[in-house]
Amino acid sequence: MRRWNGWGDDAHDYVLRANARALLLERLGPGTPPRDASLDEALQRVPASRLQDGSRFNTGAEARLRHTRGQSFPDWLATRFGRLGPFPDGVAFPESHDDAVEVLANAKRAGATVIPYGGGTSVVGHLNVPRDDRPAVSVSLERMDKLLDLDETCWLARFGGGTPGPALEKQLRERGYVLGHFPQSWEYSTVGGWVVTRSSGQQSLRYGRIEQMFDSGRLATPRGEMTVGGVPASAAGPDLREFVMGSEGRLGLLTEAVVRVRPLPQHESFHAVFFPDWAHGFAAVRALAQSGLPLSMLRLSNANETETHLTLAGEGAALRWLRRYLGWRGAGAGRCMSMLGVTGGARETRYALDGAREIVKRHRGVWIGTAIGNRWAHNRFHGVYVRNTAWEAGYAIDTVETAINWNKATGLMQAVEKAAADATAKFGERVHAFTHLSHVYRQGCSVYSSFIFRAAPSLEENMERWAAMKKAVSETIVVHGGTISHQHGVGVDHAPYLPAEKGPLGMDLIKAVAAELDPKSMMNPGKLFA
């Protein structure tokens, strides 16, 4: 069953090995886990529903509690300390577009605000219930999880908006197709959530971001139905899909999404390469990204992240041998690991690998082969379970991501890590910060930093430390000219930084679009903009 106060299925655990614990102890000091609230304690804080007519909504305390939060750090603290409110006053589970329209009409009659709920994996406060005199309802699309239509001529698949990653790929695979959208939250996040938050999956280099995959959609808005897209390309004015992508639930419920799919690939493999240092790795990855080679994935970890990954992997004989071998090949201390994926037909993948090997060699990279890469691919949705185990050992994990042009990426990475360290030092604490470039483009890349720090005993102290770090890091991103989000979206946590990116007229335009479809501001108020 899905954990109510952590990540993932409670049947799965991530084992924190002794050497990983030793690394945390050395970098951060001993961790003391705060006491977790029990589900019963948390449920006792759920107040009575304010809905006059709850017939269309589940007003039970547990359903409401389970739809109150996502996975942001403040959400994490709220669930762990059992202080999750405000709560939605009810949760609806529509089963079709028409059903969703009826739910929306019901909410309107009740004067309620509506928070669309996909997989609940938001990490920026998209799902939080604002303090409001109006009742609030959560609309979970989890029952809209079917492949509704597959057009094999046009390679288009129509899905219910609440279809999560595994169900989506399973239904496609049965028919010989793949979408190829693999965010790390794939286990739970949904196609509707991906579209409205402009999500990016690990193999974006081949399959594109969700923006490239999203062909068309059906939106139930407070003013009626709106359909967008449906042609391969168009010069007929602004593309209305762009209004939907990134709308974060403010325009309505995306009840159906048509996505561009492809036949299943014949081959796929993931390869690890080690560079002597950041400068060589960075130059190689940029050259690879700009080469046009048909790679499906390309990422580069900085030295801190490389060492952290190697430590988490254990200390078996194979790893000891790898460290010795890398040292002997010139990739000793300060080495940076890159992960490279190829996906497709036999000829295409061979061509990509041959070309990549040449570029890697020119930049003194040591090509290790598929052992590490394929293991990464096998465990790629399991690694996030470390969040639970680390917390239970007294350590918290948060991440921040942005995208920026190549010429500013290294400076931004260093500044972000420093900002987090400085902000944490003010509380007499340290942070273990590490970074990778996770998505690459010809013009630049995304920069994804992780922070591990010690948990404090109380919710308030944890919030204070996190807020200081988040502010410092976000301001650094803005100052360096990065976007406030490459893939996680805006929600409430990034909303204060959006005006710096969009400008006053841009913000007015976004607000005007929302007001046009949702004049009473009933859809997910407070997200994206206040």
Binding residues for ligand FAD, rule: CB under 6 A, are 7, 70-71, 115-123, 126-127, 141, 161, 183-185, 188-190, 192-194, 196-197, 199-200, 248-249, 253-254, 384, 487-489, 524, 527
CA distance 99 to 42: 31
Closest to ligand FAD by CB, 208 or 332: 208
* Residue 51 exposure: Cα atoms within 13 Å on the Cβ side: 27
**DSSP class per residue in 377-399:** HHTTTTGGGHHHHHHHTTEEEEE
CB of 159 to ligand FAD, least distance (A): 10
Tell me whether residue 303 or residue 490 sits nearer to ligand FAD (CB atom). 490
CB of 367 to ligand FAD, least distance (A): 26
The DSSP secondary structure of 101-137, one letter per residue, reads: HHHHHHHHHTT-EEEEESSS--SSSTTPPPP-SS-EE
C-beta of 116: minimal distance to ligand FAD in Å? Answer: 3
Cα–Cα distances (Å) from 292 to 286, 289, 351, 366, in that order, read 11, 6, 11, 21
Integer Cα distance of 447 and 44 in angstroms: 41
Least spacing, CB of residue 200 vs ligand FAD, in Å: 5
Residue found by looking up tokens 């609230």 in the block:
37
Cβ proximity to ligand FAD: between 73 and 275 the closer is: 73
Coil vs helix vs strand at 164:
strand
- Residue closer to ligand FAD by CB (options 106, 200) is 200
Of the pair 141, 359, the CB lying nearest ligand FAD is at 141
Interatomic CA distance for residues 487 and 197, integer angstroms: 7
Smallest separation (angstroms) from ligand FAD to the CB of 117: 5
User: Is residue 434 within 8 Å of residue 389, measured between CB atoms?
Assistant: no
Minimum CB distance to ligand FAD smaller for 37 or for 220: 220
Instruction: Take residue 168 and report the two structure tokens written for it.
Output: 């989506």
Which among 448, 465, 447 has a CA at the least distance from the CA of 456?
465
CB nearer ligand FAD, residue 168 or residue 368? 168
The minimum distance between CB 163 and ligand FAD, in angstroms, equals 9
Residue 274 or residue 448: which is nearer to ligand FAD going by CB? 448
| Least distance in angstroms from the C-beta of 243 to ligand FAD | 12
Of the chain, the end-to-end C-alpha distance in Å amounts to: 35
- Alpha-carbon dihedral 104, 105, 109, 110, rounded to 10 degrees: -30
Please report how close the Cβ of residue 115 comes to ligand FAD at its closest, in angstroms. 5
